[in-house]
Structure 1
Amino acid sequence: MTTEKGTKESPWKLKTPPLTSDYEMYKDVKDGKEILVCTVGKTVLHYDFRCIKDLHEMLKKHGGWMDLGSADEQKPAKDGTVEAWGRSSENPIGGWYGLKKGLRGRFGMYLPPLMEALGLAEVEHNPRNNRMRAV
């Protein structure tokens, strides 16, 4: 029997855009809401599952490459980046896709490789300043 990818039993095994760290993501339900669970070492982050569809749609409208701009929640995100969009009051949910207070950032680090694995985006893999675009 083949187990579907993206479940707790068979998570997506991913690498950060610079290919320096391994992490896992899977889809789950918490409080009746579909979420992405992202495990990086012992740190567990949660993102609204809608972010995959919403990010893909935004990138298609954007049309070219967009800087990732990954930043922790406590640091401001650079304007015009995937990270800034993932916390903007202008995105479809009107704020943070990250759901765990204190750990809501790093959207621009952990979502792009998942989008690439799902065939929805192309992501650069340079040591720094990576970008992505919709496929």
Structure 2
Amino acid sequence: MVIDEGTKEIPWLLKTPPLSSDYTMHRDVKDGKEVLVCTVGKTVLLYDYQCLTDLHAMLKEHGDWMELGSADEQKPAKEGTVEAWGRSGRNPVGGWYGLKKGLRGRFGMYVPPLMEKLGLAELTHDAKGNKMRAI
């Protein structure tokens, strides 16, 4: 990992869990809050930076593989998945880690590969039904 990686100038270069699409993420501050800026083509999504620590802690407690279950904001998330946890009122922020109304979903698609790159988790890389667990 490059030391300055994760900045706007040198974003993390990532692939979706099935390794089918490229995207970037970087740290930034928006409205006084640390955020992850996820750029997929021309679409920009924002996630609360705290999600990395919180998701890692939840996965450690879970102790096993957990299905990612990625879904758009407008679609329901499958129970028991990383996506469902990322929008649950029972997570540490009490709701969505996605911060951009209309584009708050896909938490289970875009955050796990960053956690893998940072050495916090391992992922499966199948065509569908990918899972992750904490390292």
Range class of TM-score, shorter chain:
over 0.9
Determine helix, strand or coil for the equivalent of 2:44. Answer: strand
In structure 1, what is the equivalent of residue 85 of structure 2?
85
1:97-131 deviation digits (Å, cap 9, x = unpaired): 00000000000000000000000000000000000
Aligned partners of 2:97, 2:56: CA distance in 1, in Å? 14
Q: Give, in angstroms, the shift of residue 93 of structure 1.
A: 0.3
TM-score between the two structures when normalised by the length of structure 1: 0.98
Residue 106 of structure 1 pairs with residue 73 of structure 2? no
Q: Percent identity?
A: 75
Paired residues for 1:18-57 under 5 Å: 18-57=18-57
Partner residue, 2:73: 73
Q: Could you tell me which residue of structure 2 aligns to residue 6 of structure 1?
A: 6
How many residue pairs get aligned? The number is 134
For structure 2, the 5+ residue unaligned runs are: none
For residues 26-80 of structure 1, the C-alpha deviation after alignment (integer angstroms, 9 at most, x for no partner) is: 0000011000000000000000000000000000000000000000000000000
- 1:1-27 CA-partner distances (Å, limit 9, x unpaired): x76110000000000000000000000
Which 4+ stretches in 1 moved above 6 angstroms? none
> What secondary structure sits across from 2:108 in the alignment?
helix
Task: Tell me how far apart the structure 2 counterparts of residues 10 and 63 of structure 1 sit (CA, whole Å).
Answer: 33
**2:131 is matched by which residue type in structure 1?**
R
In the superposition, the TM-score normalised over structure 2's length comes to 0.98
CA distance in 1, matches of 2:49, 2:64: 24
Distance 2:112 2:23 in 1: 13
**Whole-Å separation in 2 of the counterparts to 1:33 and 1:71:** 25
